[in-house]
Amino acid sequence: RMQPVLAPPPPHFVEHLLGRTDLAIFAAIGYVTITGLLVVGALTQSAGPRLARFHAERQAVSFRRLLAKLAVFSSVVGIVGIIGAIVFGRWLLTVLYRAEMSDHVATLTWAMAAGALGYVSSALAHGITAARCFRAQVIILSLTVPAAAVSCWFLIPRFGLVGAAEAWTIAMGVKTLASLAAIAWILRRFNGRAGWAALA
């Protein structure tokens, strides 16, 4: 099942600090990132059983190579999304919604940056799941949620919807870095230099 890696900052932050109208605008803009997630999710889900088999059979090289390919593909999709937002953002928002939405290109660009990081963390999350490191996912979320809350509190009052998208990007950045750390530990376990029992 596709993992909800792209959840934006807690809606009540946006609603409380900016109001329901801006919350609706932010939700609409954030929904654009789902397109990339569908593409990435289709590939990573199909690769999940192979990752699990490589891990079970202790094929460290195959596990690492497949996961790296998924991460690179996810990164490319994310970069294309960011470039698309910069170049075609105004037109896209006008076509999808209405002309007034075209003023939110900066918010869309930051949202796509959050999406790009989210795509990569999605690929890494499949590797963590394949390795059955479930407690690691709890730790990752325990880092991501406070990062999102603190970022929202400081950025939204100063920069409005752009700040909300920036906070979303920071949260996804924290999640991606934490996921990379988890993958590093998994690979170390493959090589017999560290255990993962405490997080498995």
Residue 184 in this model has a pLDDT that exceeds 60:
yes
Task: Look over the chain and give the mean of its residue pLDDT values, rounded to a whole number.
Answer: 87
The answer for residues whose C-beta is within 8 angstroms of residue 115's C-beta and 6 or more apart is 6, 33, 36, 37, 78, 81, 172
Closest CA to 4 of 105, 130, 145: 145
**pLDDT confidence of residue 45:** 85
Closest CA to 14 of 119, 185, 148: 148
- DSSP sequence for 19-37: -HHHHHHHHHHHHTTHHHH
Name the pLDDT band for 196 (thresholds 50, 70, 90): very low
CA distance 87 to 10: 29
Q: What is the pLDDT of residues 107-152, one digit of tens each?
A: 999 999 999 999 999 999 999 999 988 889 899 999 999 999 999 9
**pLDDT confidence of residue 12:** 78
Residue 76 in this model has a pLDDT that exceeds 80:
yes
CA distance 144 to 79: 22
Q: What is the pLDDT of residues 26-69, one digit of tens each?
A: 989 988 888 888 888 888 888 889 999 998 888 888 999 999 99
**pLDDT confidence of residue 10:** 64
